[in-house]
Amino acid sequence: MVSGISSLPDDNLGRYLQTFVSETGRPTDVEDIIIGSVTLPKYTNEFWTSRQRQASSIHEISYRACFKPQLPRFFIDLLTRKGDIVYDPFSGRGTTVIEAGICGRNVLANDASPLSRIITEPRFFPPDLIAVEKRLASIPSDSKTATIDLSMFYHPDTEKEIVALRQYILKRRADCRDDMIDRWIAMVATNRLTGHSKGFFSVYTLPPNQAVSQQSQHRINQKRQQTPEYRDTHRIILNKTKSLLRSVSPAEKANLKQAGKMARLLTGDARLTPEIPCDHVRLTVTSPPFLDIVQYREDNWLRCWFNGYDEKIIGDQITMAHNPVEWSEVMSAVFHELFRLTSSGGYVAFEVGEVRKRTIQLEDYVIFPGITAGFTCEGVLINQQTFTKTSNIWGVDNMASGTNTNRIVIFHKY
């Protein structure tokens, strides 16, 4: 993988993508696409794989609609140098900025949901496992049950531990006494609330990137003839901490800590970020909310409860456009803001998707907003994954559903 923009032939991204050869020897397929009155190149290849530079274990935090770390890593390696600023205006679980931090870049992040900061910030400061264990031992593990009905998810003793942990975290936060170990514990607990294995606090339910409603969990329990069994929440937090830290090298820890000290993690509307100076960002890598196919409010209601947030208020702040035209109008305002804060020579890698059974390709709705804002569109990059044996064993028909590809529209500010 190249180490920075100076490695591009004649500083030409298009030429690099055209001549790129995948790990398996596959050349890039290049074709012209016409969108309205604009003709642009489309580059298709396996530009990165899930195996390429096995991603750091620090990324293993579940969140809805997130991309793999290999995606931002491709653009970070290609288009930035150490010390450059990398930004994500729809940060989600923080994949772009955590990967940028690992690579020795400075970072900026924004997200409409305060949950994003809760699950991102502590990973810039990976703790010592013994320190986490000592802190957990100091936190009471017994309390009253929750004021909302959670009996369909948790054994009564597990629920009391969760409530005690929640009370501790919220009290420390309200008193401005929560340190990075407290925040790490809050992050891990937030991501262990529900899931489909014994590594989570709950009885078997949907995968951990979404929480079903109480009524839906009742139906799951009845169908599976299951009742919640006791789970040791402190032990689960320690086990997950160990897993998150397992492949983080001392050099990566140092890079993350340095990036974390300089980081700005904003909570707000990506269309208006006055905290970020003009001409400040070298590279933006992001994936915006895709129409209304992901229900952020419904998926995160339990995480919001645990962290003391009103999921209805947060849900109303997240863009949930119901059609591509409405979505494009929102993105138009985002692009004008991105153009303001992008430095001369900087790039935006805007990951879009094939939604509603591939009937809508969202690049058709971002190219003109980006160009209108002042960017030059360098083309559309399609990363096309090769199926693995595991995928075939599990009957994953990704080619039919489009989930085996990433579609990225690349913009350049000259």
Give the up-direction half-sphere exposure of residue 204: CA atoms within 13 A in the CB hemisphere: 10
Residue 389 lies in a domain: yes
Residue 367: exposure state from Cβ atoms within 10 A (0-12, 13-18, ≥19): buried
Q: What is the per-residue pLDDT for 155?
A: 97
Q: What is the per-residue pLDDT for 65?
A: 67
CATH number at residue 312: 3.40.50.150
Give the up-direction half-sphere exposure of residue 379: CA atoms within 13 A in the CB hemisphere: 20
Q: What is the per-residue pLDDT for 398?
A: 42
Find the mean pLDDT for residues 118-139. Answer: 97
Q: What is the per-residue pLDDT for 393?
A: 33
Give yes or no: residues 281 and 398 share one domain. Answer: yes
Q: What is the per-residue pLDDT for 407?
A: 93
Give yes or no: residues 275 and 155 share one domain. Answer: no
Q: How many domains does the chain have?
A: 2
DSSP codes, 124-183: GSPPPHHHHHHHHHHS----PPPSS--TTTS-HHHHHHHHHHHHHHHHHHHTT---HHHH
Q: What is the per-residue pLDDT for 29?
A: 97
Give yes or no: residues 237 and 266 share one domain. Answer: no
Give the C-alpha separation, 294 to 356, whole Å. 11
> Strand, coil or helix: what is 335?
helix
pLDDT at 124 over 90: yes
Give yes or no: residues 17 and 39 share one domain. Answer: yes
Q: What is the per-residue pLDDT for 91?
A: 96
Strand partners, 347: 283, 412
Least confident range from 57-71, 233-247, 276-290, 379-393: namely 379-393
Categorize the per-residue pLDDT at 403 as very low, low, confident or very high, splitting at 50, 70 and 90. Answer: very low
Least confident range from 190-194, 271-275, 314-318: namely 314-318
pLDDT at 392 over 80: no
Structural domain ending residue among the three candidates 189, 209, 243: 243
Residue 382 lies in a domain: yes
Q: Are strands 106-111 and 264-267 parallel, antiparallel or unpaired?
A: parallel
pLDDT at 409 over 60: yes
pLDDT at 352 over 80: yes
Least confident range from 26-40, 88-102, 119-133: namely 26-40
Give yes or no: residues 257 and 238 share one domain. Answer: no
pLDDT at 40 over 70: yes
Give yes or no: residues 43 and 168 share one domain. Answer: no
Give the C-alpha separation, 269 to 1, whole Å. 34
Q: What is the per-residue pLDDT for 385?
A: 78
> Strand, coil or helix: what is 398?
helix
Q: Which amino acid is at 137?
A: A
The position carrying tokens 């597990």 is 158
Find the mean pLDDT for residues 145-152. Answer: 95
Give yes or no: residues 154 and 95 share one domain. Answer: no
Q: What is the per-residue pLDDT for 356?
A: 54
Give yes or no: residues 110 and 253 share one domain. Answer: yes
Where is pLDDT greater, at 232 or 358?
A: 232
Find the mean pLDDT for residues 60-89. Answer: 93
Q: What is the average pLDDT score of the chain?
A: 89
Residue 56 lies in a domain: yes
Structural domain ending residue among the three candidates 207, 226, 243: 243
Write down how long the chain is. Answer: 414
Instruction: Give residues with Cβ within 8 angstroms of 182, minimum separation 6.
Output: 135, 169, 172, 173
Instruction: Give residues with Cβ within 8 angstroms of 53, minimum separation 6.
Output: 1, 70, 73
Give yes or no: residues 85 and 214 share one domain. Answer: no
Residue 318 lies in a domain: yes
Residue 195 lies in a domain: yes
The position carrying tokens 């919001």 is 304
Give the C-alpha separation, 403 to 353, whole Å. 9
Express as a percent the part of the chain with pLDDT over 70: 88
Residue 47 lies in a domain: yes
Find the mean pLDDT for residues 344-355. Answer: 88
- In the 8-state DSSP scheme, what is residue 375? P
Give yes or no: residues 319 and 355 share one domain. Answer: yes
Residue 185 lies in a domain: yes
DSSP codes, 224-264: HT-------HHHHHHHHHHHHHTT--HHHHHHHHHHHHH-E
Angle between helices 180-190 and 129-138 (to 10 degrees): 80
Q: What is the per-residue pLDDT for 211?
A: 85
Categorize the per-residue pLDDT at 322 as very low, low, confident or very high, splitting at 50, 70 and 90. Answer: confident
Q: What is the per-residue pLDDT for 1?
A: 41
pLDDT at 349 over 60: yes
Residue 122 lies in a domain: no
Q: Which amino acid is at 165?
A: L
Where is pLDDT greater, at 113 or 394?
A: 113
Residue 370: which domain range?
A: 5-117+249-412
Give yes or no: residues 219 and 193 share one domain. Answer: yes
Structural domain ending residue among the three candidates 226, 243, 260: 243
Give the C-alpha separation, 277 to 200, whole Å. 41
Find the mean pLDDT for residues 67-95. Answer: 96
Categorize the per-residue pLDDT at 257 as very low, low, confident or very high, splitting at 50, 70 and 90. Answer: very high
Give yes or no: residues 134 and 193 share one domain. Answer: yes
**Tokens describing residue 327:** 């979505």
Find the mean pLDDT for residues 161-169. Answer: 97
Least confident range from 52-66, 121-135, 165-179: namely 52-66
Q: What's the pTM value of the predicted model, to 2 decimals?
A: 0.91
User: 165 with 193: CB under 8 angstroms?
Assistant: no
